[in-house]
Chains A and B, each alone.
Chain A
């Protein structure tokens, strides 16, 4: 009978980590639905970005208030997780504060956890007020209705509750230590939770043990639940930000990729020795589709981008089109991509492979009006704290519209015809290109 808590703990741990692993595998499978892309270049620079942008949060602090709050929560999250290690060992082996033998070091460790827990709690409350009381504009755009809005708040509530449980657990533990309860070794330093102890004044030992155990169990079960919540949430960025920054764009932002399939065709067209009537070689691959109309036409990095997006909206708040009331929102481009990818994922889960569902990313999720509003100014790319590139998706979808569907806006077709005919977007004769030198 005495091993029942240990067994229950083991079951919770296995279920929690098992289900999480299963979903992470699904994320990897879904990302691999995208086109393979070579990102083996610039290793050194990529690692430098991981240290600077992801670990170092360098782009978060471009906005100092949100950046500072985020750093507090981020450091708190990482450091307090050391405590989770102790909780897991205690849970599995029925020990209590196994690391207490570290002596004074343990005291300082617990003290730092407590201070960080308090800071995280305050930070998260501050975040909540920014979102719900101050109502910062980027949190209230049209794409933030319903689930995205609730998701953001759930994350904050989760973190508040986890930090409170941690402090309550410590406070009741401290009171039990003071009462000299068996099993509760005197260990740790409690600079924050000591102020909660008066709340437990006069409680019996058994009540205190009940409070301490309940807080302990809810804390670890909460962490396991939160871990599994990630897959369904924008909060997945806490893991994916790191690989995403690694795979982020290294070349100058103005450099858009040249489509290799087009290069081959253009070269063939310009080769005077090529036979224009030649049949394709035996077993030659079917010509590639130009651009993207669905998530499977995007690259793996673009799909990773979609899973990484935490919907902070810095991109959208910097977007010139969005700021002047156009429909385009770079954040929505990323959210739509993820939503469609999840729809495809469920389709695969259900049918074993993807069964056409008559839907696609273009039109069913992202409208043409959004795509044509982009000025390709790169403000969204610059703004993203985790190196997401919404512009590349917009460009791929424009390519599909123009090259597969000839569906460019009329005025653009006129400009492109001019370029084709006379080498300039306006209807001037190429032979007049140098006339300016004789004009006074």
Chain B
């Protein structure tokens, strides 16, 4: 990827009097975290490749308030929510896609009561719909036949009942999908949710991400597929902690699709 990618902002669209098909909500991790930025860019490549007319909020985007809410700071959450809703509504946003299940859950479920009602999709759901519409081609490419285990993000799976979209995409990659013992509705958390990402864990006998990584390693995968930037960090750290980074990669589903054909 030598050429810079084209990422229009809502402000630019507004200046041209245009409305995008969908707003890509990048999220804090997707904007600032070095690992998550790669997922963001992979997803943008896919959007571009599928000719999706999208825009981002850029510097007008702010934390959805998810970690604040789940840490118990309802005040800060609602301040963030209402500020974001004001921005989104001023641009008359109808449809939002995000690669972060926490942003997805918060905007989809907790914003409507505060005045922000949008059609919100997780990026795996959005990519699946592109696939079904024939706008996106997903083929095995370099992942064909690889052993993949998928780690369900809590805020996509249990919280919103979406277990199939990421799996359907993975199957299209013609991978050998192996499930962990605790998967789908029984999936074990990576340990990052509920604002745990931003603090040390309480005293215990193990870190949650290590417990989860050990379970993933048992399936002897080439790749642990994730669909959340925080899960990605936790599983990447877990794999490093078990000194398996030479054998096992942790990749977002969007990265896999983008990298399969070198999009």
Contact = CB atoms under 8 A, between A and B. Distances in A.
Contact of B59 (A265, A290, A381, A433): A433
Contacts of B155: 254
A215 to B, nearest CB: 45
B242 interface: no
A355 interface: no
A378 to B, nearest CB: 4
Interface in B72-86: 72-76, 78-80, 82-83, 86
Nearest to A405: B72
A266 B61 CA distance: 19
Interface string A401-438: 11100001101101110011001111010111111111
A114 interface: no
A426 B28 contact: yes
Interface in B118-151: none
B161 A266 contact: no
Nearest to B101: A254
Nearest to B199: A411
B194 A377 contact: yes
Interface residues of B, number: 76
Contacts of B181: none
Interface in A239-276: 251-256, 258-259, 262-263, 265-267, 269-270
Most chain A C-beta atoms within 10 Å of own C-beta, residue among B44, B73, B158 = B73
B92 interface: no
A146 interface: no
Interface residues of A, number: 70
Given A411-B200, A424-B63, A376 B28 contact: no
A258 B78 contact: yes
Interface in A69-91: none
B15 interface: no
Contacts of B32: 424, 426, 428, 432-433
Contact of A425 (B37, B63, B203): B63
Given A254-B155, A270-B83, A395-B70, 4 more contacts: A320-B191, A320-B212, A379-B158, A424-B31
Interface of A: 251-256, 258-259, 262-263, 265-267, 269-270, 290-291, 318, 320-321, 323-328, 369, 372-379, 381-382, 395, 397-403, 408-409, 411-412, 414-416, 419-420, 423-426, 428, 430-440
